[in-house]
Structures are given as structure tokens and as C-alpha cells.
A and B are shown apart, each in its own frame.
With several copies, the nearest count.
Chain A
Amino acid sequence: MRNDLIQLAYLVAAIGFGLSLKWMSSAPTARRGIFAGEAAFVLAIIATLFHDGLTGEGYALIAAALLIGSAIGVPLGLKVPMTAMPQRIALSHSFGALAAGLVGIAHYYLERANVGKFEMAVLGFEIILGCLVFTGSLMAAGKLQEILPQRPITFKGQNYVNFAVLGAAAVLVILLVLDPSRTALIPPIIVLSLAFGVFLIVPIGGADMPTVIALLNSYAGISAAALGIVLDNKLLIVAGALDGMSGLILALIMCRAMNRSFRNVMFGAFGQLQESAPGDGGEVGNVRSASFDEAAEILKASRSVVIVPGYGMAVAQAQHKVREFADALEAEGVDVRYAIHPVAGRMPGHMNVLLAEANVPYDKLLDMDEINSEFPQVDVVLVLGANDVVNPAARHNKSSPIYGMPILNVDQAACVMVIKRSMRPGFAGIENELFYDPKTLMVFGDAKHVVGELTTEVTGQRDAISI
């Protein structure tokens, strides 16, 4: 009876997780989605605590562990700047994977006497996944936080080495399936899987990390589902399946928006310094550059401005200044909108989150599809720390690594203004001919600084007039 109630609580929690994801499909219901997810989680935890067989000592340990976990989790979640989101998610992820791996291992040691063949196979799979997601997520967080080198580290035959490591782990699991009592095989499986997690991420550039995180998320979901199969826990299966699908779809969407394949992301060592890429030295060539007051003058005089934010805005944390600047322009009667490329920044929806943080209403953020046909009617496009997402080479240069990626057609506007620190390339490591276009004006400097100066110019000039 008690167990039945627990199972019913799990059923309710599973529905709660489903609703939680469903409500994420529109901004007005998204917070309700979080609450559903949280409520479902709390219900699941409480129901679990009612299981038969938990001892007094167990409860004490659980209380201590929950407290310690919360004490670490709260600062991890609260004290995080918006720009550090990707690495925080990766870090949090590695913790979850660690738990999944440990549970699988502990379950093996406790039940090895009566574990079936299929069960052992699923369990082995689960342990491999848990371990590799653990180290993989740590590596991803390290790369994003720039503790580890962002550039992909490659060597000849790397993929073969990686697959040899994974293959060895798989062979050991097969040996375990044949005879689940071979306890000695577990430690090498763990070590190999942890190593594979590291090796998997080493050759991937820091900027590809968001895709990798989505994929690791998917693996974590699948490992939770596998754990659910082994423990015969349906809630784990449902939550794991939802999660596994979610990560997979997000990773696919990101790849598609960059016009790259999974394989290329995982094994392509993208973002390496390209030998032939010219202009990555920072020397300023045949470009027109403008001073702050010239730029402000042009912006003030225009009727419609479209701001194209990119990774540079995130790095410079310029979103609040951008908002102030847009307010100032609007006070001058200029129509200001934002064009959001699907892979601008380093995470899907990165720009949306940052601009939302700065209180830009989300109906001012236009998707690529919405805005692309309107550029010919725009007076000034302000490219703010974006690079690849406005690179016309994607349209016509078949040899470019970003060829085929849909871009924002900013070169159709009357005037393009680009704010960045130098002539250095962006994520893809390639030259951008847009900067050499006669109608392009470069405004060099840190995004936050430049936008602040522009705001002063715009409002200052207005004061001068009103004197």
C-alpha cells in the first residue's frame, strides 16, 4: 500500500516534469513551467523518503547530504553573472552525472549477486555514460571559464585513440555481462570512461561547448533513464527520456543553425587557428573607421536603427548600456529594434537572455526570419560584437567554413556600423569582408565602453540643443 502511494506520487511527478517542459514553450507560461518542475521534484524526493528499508542512520545521512548539497547549490545558482551561464550549467551538470555514475556503481556492488544479463548491460552502459558526462562536463566548464585553453587541442590519430578508449570500456562491460560477478572489471571501466570524457572534449573548441553541453545533457538524461530501468523506477525513466530528447533536439537545432553536422562539431576541431586566415593579427587595413561623435551623429540622424548583438556584447557585458543607448536614441525619435541571429553568442537564446536581463521587452527582439526581408528599409545597422553571424561569405564563398549558414543580411541596409575591439576574427576564425564594404564604418573599442560613449554623445548633444 505504502509502495503504491509512492508509485502514484512518482506518476504525478512524471506528469509534472512533462508539464514543466510543455510550459516552457511560451514566455508567459515559462515560469509556471519552473514551478511545476520544482513541485514535481519536491514531491519525488518526499515520496522517496517514505520507501521501506530506509534506516535511521540513513535518514540522518540524507539530511546531512541534502544540507551540504543545498549549501553548495544555492551560491552556484544565485551568484552567477548572466555571461557565465554556460559554464555554470556545465558545472552543475557534472555534479548530476557524478551522482548518476555513483548510484550505478553502488547498485552494482550491492546487487551483483543477482543481476541479470540485460540488467548488467544497461548498468554498464549507465556507468560509462555517467562517468564520461562527469569529466566531459567538467572539461566543458573549464574551457568556457578559460581555465583550460579554449582552442581545440588535436593530434594525429586522436579519434582512433578516443575510440580505442571507449571500445575498451565497452569490451569490459561485455565481459561483465557474460559474468556479472567479475567485480574487478568495474574500476577499469570507470577509469576508461572518465578518460574518454576528457579526451572527447579536448579536441573541441571552446565556442562549440554549448552544443557539447546540450549533447552531454542528452547523455545524462539517457543515463538517468537507464538507471530507471535498472532500479525499475518509472519516474527516472520518464524524466530521463524527456531530458535525453531535449538535449538531443537542442544540439541538433544548434548544429543546424550553424549549418554543421554533429560529426563536424564533435570531431571537426572547429575553431582552430586557420593557417590561411588573413587579418587575424589585428592590423587595420582598408577600412573606414569612425570616431564616437561621428557615429553618434549618424545614428541620431537616422529614422530606424537595428542593433545586431553578438558574442562581443556578452563578453563586454554591455547589455545594460545598450538598453540605455536605445532609450536615448528613442528619445530622439529613432525607431530601435534588435535582430537576433539564432546562434549569436555562445548558447541558443544567449542574446535573448542578456537583453531580457537589461529589460529590453522581448517583442523588440526580432528573429532572423522576421527581420531579414526588412534590412533594405533600415537606415543604420549597429553590429555590436557580432562577426560570423553577419559574414556575407556564408552566402557566396563555398570554401568558407561557415558557407551555407543563414546569416543576417545587414549588408542590405543603407549603412552598417560595426563595434569591436580590433580586426580580429570571431568564433569561426575567418575574415569578414563586411568590414571592408564601403558602406561599413568601424568603431573600434570595447563594446560596453563604446556604447556608453555613444549614449553620452547622443544625450549630450540633445542637452546642447536644448540650452
Chain B
Amino acid sequence: MLTNEVIITSLFIFAIAGFLGLEVIRRVPKLLHTPLMALTNALSAISLVGSLLILGEAHTTYSKIMGFVAVVAATVNVVGGFLITDKMLKMFKKREPVKAKVEVGQ
């Protein structure tokens, strides 16, 4: 059971990280929005960390089954997501470094 203090600490981290996300994402130019979607798709598979724990602790048969499916699914997401992003971005690198056209997104 979580103490209130732990929960509030979590909220602190959530709030500051969300703020950071806002600031960072706002600067991504339109040019890169599709790769960004692919990248964050890969990052959203971070629940893999939780899945690994559930599966690794192998408490009950149920938890093993659910953990197994979860790890497989999350791995598909992270592997697929990064490969898609990588593939997309490779295309942006073909030319000699042209002037970095960074416009402030919105």
C-alpha cells in the first residue's frame, strides 16, 4: 500500500515531467511530426518495465499468462515503434547538412 507521501511525490514528478514534455514537444517542427508520433508510440511501450516485473516474479499461473502476453505485446510495440521511427528518419538524412530549418512548431 502506497503512503500519501509516495503518491504526492509521484504527482510532483508527473507534473514536472509533463511541463518538460510540453516545452520540448512544442519546439518540434511540423517537418518532424510524423517521426515524433512514431517515437512517442515506441516510448509509450514503457509499460514493458511493469510487464517484466509481473512476469519475472511468476507468482501465479494467471499472473504468468497475463505477464507473458503483456511482455510480448509491449515488446512488439517498442521494437516496431523504434524501427518505424528509424526508417522514417533515415530518409531525412540523405542530403549534405542543409541549413537547420528549425521553426517553432505553432
CB of A34 within 8 A of CB of B85, answer: yes
Chain B interface, DSSP helix/strand/loop, else mixed? helix
Given contacts A8-B8, A28-B100, A95 and B40 within 8 Å (CB-CB): no
A240 vs B102: C-alpha distance when bound (angstroms): 26
Given contacts A11-B8, A237-B17, A352-B34, A106 and B82 within 8 Å (CB-CB): no
Contacts of A48 in B (CB 8 A): 49, 52-53, 56
CB of A66 within 8 A of CB of B71, answer: yes
Say whether A184 faces chain B, with CB atoms less than 8 Å apart: no
CB of B24 within 8 A of CB of A25, answer: yes
Interface centre among A240, A247, A353 (most CB of B within 10 A): A353
CB of A57 within 8 A of CB of B58, answer: yes
A359 vs B42: C-alpha distance when bound (angstroms): 25
A24 vs B63: C-alpha distance when bound (angstroms): 37
Contacts of B42 in A (CB 8 A): 37, 41, 92
Contacts of B16 in A (CB 8 A): 14-15, 18, 238
Interface centre among A1, A7, A74, A96 (most CB of B within 10 A): A96
CB of B70 within 8 A of CB of A98, answer: yes
Residue of B nearest to A66 (CB): B75
Of B11, B31, B98, which is within 8 A of A352 by CB?
B31
Of B38, B39, B75, which is within 8 A of A20 by CB?
B39
Contacts of A99 in B (CB 8 A): 45, 47-48, 50-51, 69-71, 73-74, 77
A15 vs B70: C-alpha distance when bound (angstroms): 25
Contact string, A65-89, partner B, CB cutoff 8 A, digits 1/0? Answer: 1101110111011101010010011
Contacts of A51 in B (CB 8 A): 53, 56
CB of A53 within 8 A of CB of B36, answer: no
Say whether A348 faces chain B, with CB atoms less than 8 Å apart: yes
Contacts of A191 in B (CB 8 A): none
Contacts of A66 in B (CB 8 A): 71, 75
A247 vs B50: C-alpha distance when bound (angstroms): 21
Determine how close the nearest CB of chain B comes to the CB of A154; give it in whole angstroms. Answer: 27
Of B24, B43, B87, B94, which is within 8 A of A22 by CB?
B24
Interface size class of A (residues with CB under 8 A): 35 or more
Determine how close the nearest CB of chain A comes to the CB of B61; give it in whole angstroms. Answer: 11
A218 vs B13: C-alpha distance when bound (angstroms): 17
Given contacts A224-B46, A347-B33, A245 and B22 within 8 Å (CB-CB): yes
9-residue interface stretch from A114-122, A273-281, A284-292, A396-404: A114-122
Given contacts A30-B32, A106-B70, A247-B40, A89 and B84 within 8 Å (CB-CB): yes
Determine how close the nearest CB of chain A comes to the CB of B16; give it in whole angstroms. Answer: 6
Say whether A390 faces chain B, with CB atoms less than 8 Å apart: no
List which B53-98 residues lie within 8 A (CB) of chain A: 53-60, 62-64, 66-95, 97-98
CB of B43 within 8 A of CB of A349, answer: no
Determine how close the nearest CB of chain A comes to the CB of B87; give it in whole angstroms. Answer: 7
CB of A224 within 8 A of CB of B44, answer: yes
A342 vs B33: C-alpha distance when bound (angstroms): 10
A228 vs B31: C-alpha distance when bound (angstroms): 32
A107 vs B58: C-alpha distance when bound (angstroms): 12
Given contacts A353-B34, A363-B101, A232 and B10 within 8 Å (CB-CB): yes
A396 vs B56: C-alpha distance when bound (angstroms): 62
CB of B37 within 8 A of CB of A213, answer: yes
CB of A44 within 8 A of CB of B49, answer: yes
Contacts of B105 in A (CB 8 A): 253
Contacts of B17 in A (CB 8 A): 14, 18, 237-238, 241-242
CB of B33 within 8 A of CB of A68, answer: no
A82 vs B35: C-alpha distance when bound (angstroms): 11
Given contacts A70-B79, A73-B78, A96 and B47 within 8 Å (CB-CB): yes
Contacts of B101 in A (CB 8 A): 27, 362-363
Given contacts A246-B40, A363-B99, A65 and B72 within 8 Å (CB-CB): yes
CB of B60 within 8 A of CB of A61, answer: no
Given contacts A48-B53, A110-B63, A234 and B58 within 8 Å (CB-CB): no
Of B8, B46, B56, B89, which is within 8 A of A31 by CB?
B89
CB of B32 within 8 A of CB of A349, answer: yes
Say whether A105 faces chain B, with CB atoms less than 8 Å apart: yes
Determine how close the nearest CB of chain A comes to the CB of B42; give it in whole angstroms. Answer: 7
Of B24, B29, B102, B106, which is within 8 A of A256 by CB?
B106
Of A55, A80, A97, A253, which is within 8 A of B57 by CB?
A55
Contacts of B30 in A (CB 8 A): 253, 340, 342, 348-349, 352, 367
CB of A77 within 8 A of CB of B87, answer: yes
Contact string, A333-352, partner B, CB cutoff 8 A, digits 1/0? Answer: 00000001010000111101
Other than the given A85-B88, A103-B54, A349-B35, 7 more pairs (CB < 8 A) read: A27-B101, A49-B56, A61-B67, A74-B80, A77-B79, A229-B14, A362-B31
Residues of A within 8 A of B (CB): 1, 3-4, 7-8, 11, 14-15, 17-18, 20-22, 24-28, 30-31, 33-34, 37-38, 41, 44-45, 48-49, 51, 53-55, 57-59, 61-62, 64-66, 68-70, 72-74, 76-78, 80, 82, 85, 88-89, 91-93, 95-100, 102-103, 105-107, 109-110, 114-116, 118-119, 213-214, 217, 220-221, 223-225, 227-247, 249-250, 253, 256, 340, 342, 347-350, 352-353, 356-357, 359, 361-363, 365, 367
Nearest 3 A/B pairs, CB to CB: A69-B75, A77-B83, A73-B79
